[in-house]
Structure 1
Amino acid sequence: MKRTIRTTALTVGALVAALGLPTGAAQADATAPRVDLRTLIVSDGGPATDAIAAELDTAGTPYTEIDLTQSGRPVIDAGFLADTVDGRPRAKYQAVVLPNDNPFPAGSAEMTALAAYERTYGVPQVDAYTYARPEAGLQYPTAGGYSGSIDGVQAQVTAAGKAGPFGYLDGAVPFEDNSPTVGESYAYLAQPAPGADFTPYVEAPIPGRSTRGSLVGEYRHDGRRELVVTFVYNQYQEQFRLLARGITEWMTGGVHLGATRNYFAVHVDDVFAADDRWDTQLNCTPGDVDCPIGEGSPDPIRMTPADVDHATAWERDHDFTLDLAYNGAGSVDQRADDNGVDQLADKLIADRDKFRWINHTYTHAFLGCRQDVTVVPWKCETNADGSTKWVSRQDISDEIALNRVWGQSAGLPLQNDELVTGEHSGLKLLPQQPSDNPYLGPALSDNGVAWLASDNSRDPVQRQVGPATTISRYPMNVFYNAGHASEQVDEYNWIYTSRAQGGSGICEDNPATTTCLPAPLDTATGYTDHIVPLETRIALGHVLAGDPKPHFIHQSNLAEDRLAYPVLNGVLDGYHALFTDDTPLVNLRMKDIGIELKRRAAWQAAVQAGQVTAYRIGDTVTVTAPKGVEVTATLPTGTTLNGTPFGTPYAGAVSGWTPSAGQPLTLTVASSTPAPAAVHGAAGHGPVTAPAPRTQVPAEVSRPAATAS
């Protein structure tokens, strides 16, 4: 059953209260403060403040960072925090992030200045990771609470959290437990201190007790508001990724530059073709370049019509569309070998409108240098003068054009400006080919290609190749040359175990490899027990990080044992179990992903260069950006731009892109939703708290868990 879509945007009255502005008719007062849409991050070099900074970087939300460990840093005083612009008081930051509730020495003038600033302008403070103590609105952990690891714990968003900044979550906040021998989290679980105005937003069970302790909550005191976080995290961990959006929305009052959504796209390469099979005895793939010529017998893997039926049923059940990157010659060869019959192609063409389609070149030819495959590993052929022999412009162009014509004749719904070359060939490939084929760009121009896939593991940054912009794709460790789970595990063992264990030794040669195995996996259970959970976690991590880059697998992964589906199910089912229906996965086609990435890059470059300014006065937000740069922002539902509704709904707010002509853009913030609880004691001038005690940080939190690039 579909859940009711919720909006959690704040009213103008609530936002005015949160910013400490006068209400009602006084909003138009010329003395009403201007609040700049920028966050101040005060860092101690720890992973928690780094994680929040990374979240703002991803969204394109401006911030200023001060590292307390650096000598010569700016001093935080009244002049650093506020001034006057055109006769109007200006708060330079809409939020403050501290590493804990008070990272300064006793009697610090800087903490005193921050507290006064927060009271004066109603600016909220995030305590990125702090000890539970009465100064943060909580009892000490020794008073019936807990200090220690919470690996594998299932935390829960409270009713107040769902009604407030974490309303996009269904409720569960699982904490990672990727290794039984490694500490991956640490927390202080405690209940609110007696008499404290403290509202828990995320709680977890206190071990050995029937009560729960706060992990994230709001503490209101002395005219200030603090979001108190009592667990440590880094930017890659699932628990932070789930809560990052809510932390940002809480500290900005739902009004900020930048936006994030959760994306997932899956490209299936080599459709209509067949993929060579891994040989478990030879430890290579006969028919491919990793096997010496003549060694072994090719045993290709190719989908069947039944696999197509399974794919379309899976898409329907998961409300998800796969992108099929096709090679027309695969069907032509099949018909030549079987008296004109190709049941797979007939079925796929009949069901063509159930998929998106991408040109993957006609024969899947290698389009970089001319390969010398008489040696393993292969090398580039050279001319007499030592220069590289390249695949010609005409050959590249023919591969693109022939496949396009074949697809059009089959009625495939194509976007002619998208291209995935075979093995991402033509692009640089270390160590053999350190530069792009110089004929690739001209051939792309000949065929009107604007968007070109690249492999994120070796070419992660979006760049121009002739007329085309690259779109990096994440490779999944579901191998193209495995149709059965036992083959997948055998190859996985070969790659990721030591030479002494019968493996390739890649991990000995490159200790930075994150998927190394201490011992070979069981070929009967290793896929389900190890590879699927790991690949699911890696892919879901990309999704939760708001990364639009697509993932790619191969048609062989939809055939035989259909190895891709357990991973894809893990990502999709896992996601839907965590998020509400108003925070859906965004499933874009290739060119739309490219557009999103290109917009982000231009916006982030402008923000980092200091070319973007934005501020709020009352219910009006004014943004100025360079001409040609599209502006992105997240605002309450009902916000308008020149009288027109701004953005599209996502996660209880609206967000989107708006072209800039180099002139100020004026947005009017909506005022149709209930106000949050008022800040108590707004007129108070309580004492600045004592410095926060030192907190525990497990070594594993200082580095990311295993990831794939």
Structure 2
Amino acid sequence: MKRTIRSTALTVGALISSLGLPAGTAHADTATPRIDLRVLVVSDGDPSTDAIAAELDAAGTPYTEVDLQQAGRPVIDAGFLADTVNGTPRAKFQAVVLPNDNPFAADSPEMAALAAYEQTYTIPQVDAYTYARPEAGLQNPAGGGYSGSVDGVQAQVTAAGKAGPFDYLDGSVPFEDNSPDVVESYAYLSTPAAGADFTPYVDAPIPGQSTRGSLVGEYRHDGRRELVVTFVYNQYQQQFRLLARGIVEWMTGGVHLGASRNYFAVHVDDVFLGDDRWDTTLNCTPGDIDCPQGAGVENPIRMTPADVDYATAWESRQNFTFDFAFNGAGSVDQREGNNGVDVLADKLIADRDKFRWINHTYTHPFLGCAQDTTVVPWKCATNADGSTQWVSGTTISDEIATNRAWGQAAGLPLENGELITGEHSGLRLLPQQPEDNPNLAPALAANGVTWLGSDNSREPGQRQVGPATTVPRYPMNVFYNAGKAAEQVDEYNWIYTSRAQGGSGVCEDHADTSSCLSAPLDTSTGYTDYIVPLETRIDLGHVLSNDPKPHFMHQSNLAEERIGYPVLDGVLNGYNALFADNTPVVNLRMQDIGTELQRRAAWKAALAAGQVTAYRVGDTVTVQAPAGVAVTATMPTGTTYGGSGFGDAYAGEVSGWTASAGTPLTLTLASSTPSLSATVDVGGKAAATRTTPRTRVPAGVSEQVPYTPDD
């Protein structure tokens, strides 16, 4: 799919003349303006503008979207953009995002109004994706630049970018190349136009030349500032995810509501247990309910003391902490069958302070309905009256309490409010069990459980289960029943290939299934060459999306061939190669992740209800939110609140949550924070409505909508 970019040239000097004001003239009747902390996003359905809106959404940064394709949309004029509040001039938006440098029709009074507004209040404009041309501060690519695919290109943050909005990056900005059949990244590479005040922030080599062309840069002209982006992207692509923070910080001057960090947590389930092993002949796992009863040899996979040593050394090397979800019965059974000996448990308990620990129930039973395994797939067993047979509340409570007591006796540093049930059981499970076990919530209450792990692939949102709030976890495509790469690949082939190729046919039955294969992978190379890069890309995508949800794998993946580590190293090593030291991965434990998600939900609900007010006047930022709703904001280093430093340092700024009592919160910006327009005319002059000329993109030049990878 292609669409042609439309654009219009107009100088602000002409706009100011149409206002009746000489450029740079200040009236005697002036005041320091109020700038509302809200972004105006003008969209025409393009993926790049939508990507920026998604970034603002994820961070909790308020914005107003005007869809140019929507009938009855508001008209962007002087009254829409600015007014006065108690005699103080108010700019209603701190930044403007446009699909390109001018998406309006020829002779548009709306573009004239925007340009005059930006000049008057020193409001920056982001051109989400525009053609390189003199009106955007760049030479036309036809005159020595390049237009076309940049798949696989290694772009670079320039010195100006590192000293400016992209200081959180190490320098490299790799462009994805995930499919050889699709142009995923289309760009215009060009150098600044003659005489233009243009500073490239991100550039790349121009093919066939010794020069580099801008991909992201700042164009200053006529009292305005534009961030000119000349490559197309969507919200999932890595190149955008790397640059999204800098785009927002540039447009807001680092002063905005909301916050963004890069999170990664890994839960390792079934610690102390042995996980059943995939049978490459039966194409199932002996011991599981989908495998013929009595068939095969279970031959479980269980960590060893050497695996524990490897895990602690790996944590030290990566500056990372695992969360071990444990089942105490695994050690009890091991000792009973080995004259009281369990060298794994002895080692883990000796090293207990090197990990975080989560109650995973004592024996890892299924805690939902009683399962009728006489049919495939299984179904919930029923009573004589047709009602569902449920695992009792006593059983659920005993599983929680016994495992907790075992862990406490072993000296494990537990947070008693955290729980992950085996297979996330007890929670609703479609299609067999469409509702929670009604005995689950009372058992959670009886045991003081406040955070309950859930499966993000089933339930991506948080919800309440009695006193507990769920914490959705991303399942990693490293299987619980594989300790060796060949086992993992064999099972992967079975799941994701067609029946004609010896597979399960799930992709034939469910066309929306991700990770489907056109042909089976080689069992000797498929893990390293295909599965690891794919899973790494998916998981790193979560990390780069301001998503705190944890990932989970199993203790079997840290045993034998330790097949979990190549993915984990891929994520962390890949991350560290991209980001500066001031932007570390944030590694939270489960209850802190749950709290972060809960705060975000309350904040976004308050924003949606119009209950948050925030604005800047000079060096003072005022924020008001409903009582009990914590306020989140990002501010320049040195910002104070109540006489103390605000927030925590991250990515060259400070950000965090502040409790709200429903009264205004006042933040004081550091004296080094760039100021906005010092004074604004309060005489009520209207924005320009001058007609504007229109310039089209050269004939035959078009953009391509990028490929969206599986997530």
Q: TM-score, normalised by structure 1?
A: 0.93
Aligned-partner SS, 1:226: strand
The 8 Å contact of residues 292 and 376 in structure 1, kept in 2 or not, is answered as: no
Partner deviation per Cα, 1:156-212 (whole Å, 9 max, x = no partner)? 000000000000000000000111222111000000000000000000111111111
The residue that corresponds to 1:91 in the other structure is 91
Q: Which blocks of at least 5 consecutive residues in structure 2 are unaligned?
A: 1-25, 679-687
- Residue 241 of structure 2: SS of its match in structure 1? helix
Matched with 1:624 is 624
Are 1:453 and 1:473, in contact at CA under 8 Å, matched by a contact in 2?
Answer: yes
2:622 counterpart SS class: strand
How far off its partner does 1:289 sit?
Answer: 1.5
After superposition, residues 30-45 of structure 1 pair within 5 angstroms as 31-45=31-45
Secondary structure at 1:626's aligned position in 2? coil
Aligned residue in 2 for 1:655:
655
Give, as a single letter, the amino acid of the residue that structure 1 aligns with 2:609.
Answer: A
Counterpart residue number, 2:138: 138
Q: Residues 132 and 230 of structure 1 are in contact (CA less than 8 Å); yes or no, is this contact kept in structure 2?
A: yes
- Kept in 2, the 8 Å contact 1:202–1:215? The answer is yes
2:583 corresponds to which letter in structure 1?
T
Which residue matches 2:6? Answer: none
Q: Find out whether 1:184 has 2:184 as its counterpart.
A: yes
User: Does the CA contact (< 8 Å) of 2:249 and 2:255 recur in 1?
Assistant: yes
Name the residue aligned to 2:365. Answer: 365
Shift of 1:376: 2.2
- Post-superposition offset of 1:499: 1.1
Asked if the contact 1:196/1:219 (under 8 Å) is kept, the reply is yes
Deviation string 1:493-512 (CA, Å, 9 cap, x unpaired) is 11111111111111111111
Aligned equivalent of 2:125 = 125
1:93-142 CA-to-partner distances (Å, cap 9, x unmatched) read: 00000000000111001101100111111100000000000000000111
Partner of 1:350: 350
Q: Secondary structure at the residue paired with 2:141?
A: coil
The question of 1:161 aligning with 2:161 is answered yes
Question: What's the counterpart of residue 705 of structure 1?
Answer: 709
Q: Measure, in 1, the Cα distance between the counterparts of 2:374 and 2:300.
A: 21
The alpha carbon displacement at 1:700 in A equals 4.2
Residues 233 and 706 in structure 2, CA contact (< 8 A), matched pair in contact too:
no
Pairing of 1:452-467 with structure 2 (within 5 A): 452-467=452-467
Is the alpha carbon distance of 1:389 and 1:276 closer, same or farther for their aligned partners in structure 2, counting shifts above 3 Å? same
What one-letter code is carried by the residue in structure 2 that aligns with 1:239? Q
Distance 1:248 1:500, change over 3 A: same
Q: Distance in 2 between the 1:693 and 1:618 partners? A: 40
Mapped to 2, the partners of 1:412 and 1:358 lie a distance apart of: 9
Question: What amino acid sits opposite 1:150 in the alignment?
Answer: V
Partner of 2:380: 380
State how far apart, in whole Å, the 2-side matches of 1:700 and 1:534 are.
19
CA distance, structure 2, for counterparts of residue 692 and residue 276 of structure 1: 64
Looking at structure 2, the residues matched to 411 and 692 of structure 1 have their Cα atoms a distance apart, in angstroms, of: 71
2:81 is matched with 81
Q: Distance in 2 between matches of 1:613 and 1:275?
A: 52
Partner of 2:332: 332
Whether 2:290 is the aligned partner of 1:294: answer no
**Whole-Å Cα distance in 2 between the matches of residues 687 and 153 of structure 1?**
41
Cα shift readout 1:286-343 (whole Å, capped 9, x = no counterpart): 1011212222221211011110010001001111000000000000011111111101
Counterparts of 1:612 and 1:483 in 2: how far apart (Å)? Answer: 51
- Aligned residue type for 2:103: P
- Aligned counterpart, 1:693: 697
Task: Say if 1:104 and 1:352 are closer, same or farther in 2 by CA, change over 3 A.
Answer: same
What amino acid does structure 1 have at the position aligned with 2:587?
N
Query: Equivalences for 1:8-87 in 2 at 5 Å?
Result: 31-87=31-87
Counterpart of 2:589 in structure 1: which amino acid? Answer: R
CA contact (8 A) 2:106 2:692 kept: no
Structure 1 residue 487 displacement after superposition: 0.6
CA contact (8 A) 1:623 1:666 kept: yes
What is the alpha-carbon distance in structure 1 between the residues aligned to residue 375 and residue 554 of structure 2? Answer: 26
Number of positions where the alignment pairs a residue of Structure 1 with one of Structure 2: 673
Give the whole-Å Cα distance in 2 for the aligned partners of 1:503 and 1:589: 38
Q: Within 2, Cα distance between the matches of 1:365 and 1:696?
A: 58
> Does structure 2 retain, via aligned residues, the 8 Å contact 1:263–1:586?
yes
Give the letter aligned to residue 709 of structure 2: A
Q: Any idea what the Cα deviations from partners look like across 1:248-283, whole Å, max 9, x if unmatched?
A: 000001100000111000000000001101111111
- For 1:342 and 1:533, how far apart are their aligned partners in 2? 36
1:548 and 2:548 aligned: yes
- State whether residues 266 and 551 of structure 1, in contact with CA within 8 Å, keep that contact through their aligned partners in structure 2: yes
Displacement of 1:629 in angstroms is 0.1
RMSD, aligned α-carbons: 1.8
2:590 match: 590
Residue matched to 1:3: none
TM-fit CA distance, 1:672: 3.5
> 1:688 and 1:350, CA in 2 relative to 1: closer, same or farther beyond 3 A?
farther
CA contact (8 A) 2:618 2:675 kept: no
CA contact (8 A) 1:322 1:356 kept: yes
Deviation of 1:696 after TM superposition, in Å, equals 3.9
One-letter amino acid matched to 2:376: V
1:693, CA displacement in angstroms? 3.1
Alpha-carbon shift at residue 514 of structure 1 (Å): 2.0
Residues 360 and 30 of structure 1: CA distance in aligned 2, closer, same or farther (over 3 Å): farther
Q: Which residue of 2 aligns with 1:151?
A: 151
Name the counterpart of 2:234.
Answer: 234
Q: Which residue of 1 aligns with 2:315?
A: 315
CA deviation digits over 1:413-453, x for unaligned, max 9?
Answer: 00000000000000010011001000100000000000000
SS in 2 for 1:142: helix
Residue 669 of structure 1: aligned partner: 669
Match of 2:413 in 1: 413
8 Å CA contact 1:135, 1:689 repeated in 2: no
Q: Are 1:102 and 1:692, in contact at CA under 8 Å, matched by a contact in 2?
A: no
Q: Map 1:443-458 to 2 at 5 A.
A: 443-458=443-458
For 2:602, the equivalent position in structure 1 comes to 602
For the 8 Å contact 1:30–1:88, the answer to whether it is kept is no
The CA distance in 2 between the partners of 1:696 and 1:330, in whole Å, is: 62
Q: CA deviation at 1:706?
A: 1.3
In structure 2, relative to structure 1, the CA distance for the partners of 1:477 and 1:295 (3 Å cut) is same
| Structure 1 partner of 2:578 | 578
- The 3-state SS of whatever aligns with 1:103 is coil
- Three-state SS of the structure 1 residue aligned to 2:52 is helix
Contact 1:104 1:691 in 2 (8 A): no
How far did residue 673 of structure 1 move?
A: 6.4
Check whether the contact 1:102–1:690 (CA below 8 A) recurs between aligned residues.
no
Q: Quick one: distance in 1 between partners of 2:285 and 2:89? A: 69
1:511-550 matched pairs, under 5 angstroms: 511-550=511-550
Distance across 2 between alignment mates of 1:37 and 1:688: 30
How far apart are the structure 2 equivalents of 1:530 and 1:217? Answer: 36
In 2, Cα distance between the equivalents of 1:675 and 1:85? 20
Name the SS of the counterpart of 2:71 in structure 1: coil
Distance in 2 between residues matched to 1:139 and 1:281, nearest whole Å: 63
Maintained 8 Å contact 1:371/1:378 = yes
Counterpart Cα distance in 1 of 2:355 and 2:186: 44
The answer to whether the 8 A contact 1:293-1:374 is kept is: no
C-alpha change, 1:692 and 1:558, in structure 2 (3 Å) is: farther
The Cα shift of 1:692 comes to: 5.7
Q: Aligned-pair distance for 1:32?
A: 1.1
Specify the SS of the correspondent of 2:31: coil
Aligned residue number for residue 478 of structure 1: 478
Once residues 628 and 578 of structure 1 are traced to their aligned partners in structure 2, the CA distance between those partners, rounded to angstroms, is 37
Residue in 2 aligned with 1:10?
none
The answer for the alignment partner of 1:510 in structure 2 is: 510
Counterpart in the other structure of 2:8: none
SS at match of 1:269: strand
**For the structure 1 residues 644 and 126, does the alpha-carbon distance in structure 2 shift closer, same or farther, using more than 3 Å as the test?**
same
